[in-house]
Structure 1
Amino acid sequence: MTNTSDVLALDSLLTADELALRDRVRDYTAQRIRPNIARWYEDAHFPRELAPELGELGVLGMHLDGYGCPGRTAVEYGLAAMELEAGDSGIRTFVSVQGSLAMTAIHKWGSEAQKEQWLPRMAAGELIGCFALTEPTAGSDPSSMTTFARETADGWVLEGAKRWIGLASIADVMVVWAKTEDGIRGFLVPAGTSGVTATPIEPKLSMRASIQCDVKFDGVRLGPEAVLPGAMGLKGPFSCLNEARYGIAWGAMGAARDSYEAALEYAGNRLQFGRPLAGYQLTQEKLVNMLVEIQKGTMLALHLGRLKDAGHLQPQQISLGKLNNVREAIKIAREARTILGGNGVTLDYSPLRHANNLESVRTYEGTDEVHTLILGQHITGIGAFRG
């Protein structure tokens, strides 16, 4: 049977191990996510029970080595992200927040004691982490954050607020970024710490099978062991954001591919004026345009993955991948919905759910504008962020 999602035979560029991992995650998505996602989305429910399953699947912190982490390649992580987001962006976001953000922060910047305490159980999905960087008035410009950690004789006192923090209300540990007298530092705040309040943001029109929260820190007292010793300045959080942005370049193509395949199947079965929708030129043009961008975007993601595995991937290349692939994925999901007609606004079909989710994906880990300015600075040598 012809693979209508891979006209360029991109699978031939993958190794046997990469294909095996991709197919394992694809099977998991088909069995556990697709049958349930409409209900989870409608009910605004994040299925916490998936965490240990995803740990067993080997996709939590899968690009990290040691401390119980899977130690897989960048391409393998990308393939997993693509298959999970074909199910739903909210599920891929959990894997990203857990592994690319929280676990990466601890793995890259934490002490040995912090790594041993948190990473093995996070990799297994027994513990959940979150990454608190964005604030109510500091989104695209984290340097203007106002959350502050004051050093005391016996540790630190944390004051401030964060917004749009994924998983915060169910997290066992928060990675919190705050200003100090010496610059921006990272802190580990365990669940149950006095003075921390996490409130889910509701109602939402996007990412409904996921959790995002407002978080407040009111006189939060932390011991000296709470600080991430290796992180100083914005380099700490930005190193984690680049890991997440890389995964998004892959994940967005999963949402796009699923939207295209839903539209293709519908067009082949839906009769209008006595023939399938797929038999009309306008429908075929829509499907072809979708497929072309999915193939190009997937090729781009794979190229980024090979660069990353070779140790050559640069931030501006990640920005190009995130900017292009999410932007095109939204167009594809919206166009796929038009083929479905009125039926496409129901949760029986995935494209409009993907389109709604992708509005959030387009915003977090850097908006289109931020990635445009990153690329603009790279090609002109002039920073225009504060133009």
Structure 2
Amino acid sequence: MTIHSSKHQDDVDKNARSSYFNLPALDISVAFPQATPASKFPPCASDYYQFDDLLTSEEQAVRMKVRECMEKEIAPIMAEYWEKAEFPFHVIPKLGALRVAGGTIKGYGCPGHSVTGAAIAIAEIARVDASCSTFILVHSSLAMLTIALCGSEEQKQKYLPSLAQLNTIACWALTEPAYGSDASALNTTATKVEGGWILEGQKRWIGNSTFADVLVIFARNTTTNQINGYLVKKDAPGLTVTKIENKIGLRIVQNGDILLKKVFVPDEDRLPGVNSFQDTSKVLAVSRVMVAWQPIGISMGVYDMCHRYLKERKQFGAPLAAFQINQQKLVQMLGNIQAMILVGWRLCKLYEKGAMTPGHASLGKV
């Protein structure tokens, strides 16, 4: 065992540092060959049973338009924004151009897609990025749908056209710090005053809330003790939204804490169709169909990534896909996705013919 003197060790360290810092720049892709990065999304290989045959030509066109945009515009930047936990605001116009916001809503500048077409769009967004699909789901399948189902004609005319183009953004605020699953027990209050309402309370985990132009807020009417809905502008006095930091999942989604301190909402911004929690549940029942398609899309993307990686990555002189244990995992994933797609498709068809029950929607989501 040799023990170096302190001076000798300093010389060794100095030479090592000098050698390190004088190295020519390495081409990392050559020095450390890896599989194709996620920023270049693989072709879709997860539609094994040719699900496209069950879609109309319009639904197929929506699927391909959304897929192309997501692979070209979102895939290259999603890792960067995920790491920074920031939202890529510059892609909002590109997502708006897809004409998927508003989904099944007809008129008011909305696309009026079939339920299946709207669901397929959500799946294709989720296939590339779960956060982007959550952004669209909150904006479209919750906030816009609430206005469409529960708003007055004036409210629909005023808000929906801009929201459909993503020129303005909406959020949907039901969950509170003390009430998540038990949403019907919410504490936020709405007190009637001359010309409008005063809102007091808190909301938590509200996606899009930090930059939303319109906030759909649910509060308990202090006179009737029933749940009512209100449209609150982002610059309303007494409204404060704080971003929730240090999330593990859906990091691109900007979830916020909402504080309402004597926020005045004029009568024309109360949603006339929300007079109980049952009215809110009607919106949730429809949105669950879309939400069910989010994990379908995510699973498709995971499979596509794994499928490509296992073919590209080599060990022991063969691609990882050549080993039966990996083949078994891929086959199990692929089979599950086919089953998920068919359940999701059936759910859409039940809804389209008016036969879907809340149980159907909930089981599909599960």
**TM-score of the superposition, structure 1-length normalised?**
0.81
1:105·1:236 contact (CA, 8 Å) conserved in 2? Answer: no
Match of 1:46 among 84, 87, 99: 87
Range with bigger deviation, 224-233 or 120-129: 224-233
Distance 2:134 2:343 in 1: 20
2:277 aligned with 1:215, yes or no?
Answer: no
2:44·2:304 contact (CA, 8 Å) conserved in 1? Answer: no
Partner of 1:121: 162
Shift of 1:9: 2.1
Shift of 1:244: 2.4
SS in 1 for 2:97: helix
Shift of 1:12: 1.6
Partner of 1:298: 341
Match of 1:33 among 70, 74, 78: 74
SS in 2 for 1:161: strand
Distance 2:259 2:334 in 1: 44
Shift of 1:153: 2.3
Q: Unmatched 5+ residue regions in structure 2?
A: 1-42
1:282-297 map, 5 Å: 282-297=325-340
Match of 1:106 among 144, 147, 162: 147
Question: How many residue pairs were aligned?
Answer: 322
Distance 1:47 1:73 in 2: 28
Partner of 2:269: 226
2:66·2:125 contact (CA, 8 Å) conserved in 1? Answer: yes
Code of the residue aligned with 2:300 in structure 1: it is R
Larger Rg: 2
Distance 1:253 1:74 in 2: 15
1:214-363 map, 5 Å: 214-323=257-366
* Regions of 4+ moved over 6 Å: none
SS in 1 for 2:327: helix
Shift of 1:106: 0.8
2:230 aligned with 1:187, yes or no?
Answer: yes
Distance 1:129 1:39 in 2: 24
2:81·2:252 contact (CA, 8 Å) conserved in 1? Answer: yes
Shift of 1:3: 7.2
Code of the residue aligned with 1:166 in structure 2: it is G
Give CA-to-partner distance per residue, 1:312-356, whole Å, 9 cap, x none: 221111111111xxxxxxxxxxxxxxxxxxxxxxxxxxxxxxxxx
Distance 2:314 2:188 in 1: 58
Q: Which has the higher helix share?
A: 1
Range with bigger deviation, 205-214 or 302-311: 302-311
1:166-205 map, 5 Å: 166-180=207-221, 181-182=223-224, 183-205=226-248
Give CA-to-partner distance per residue, 1:179-228, whole Å, 9 cap, x none: 01221100010110000000010011111111110000011112211211
Distance 1:165 1:17 in 2: 33
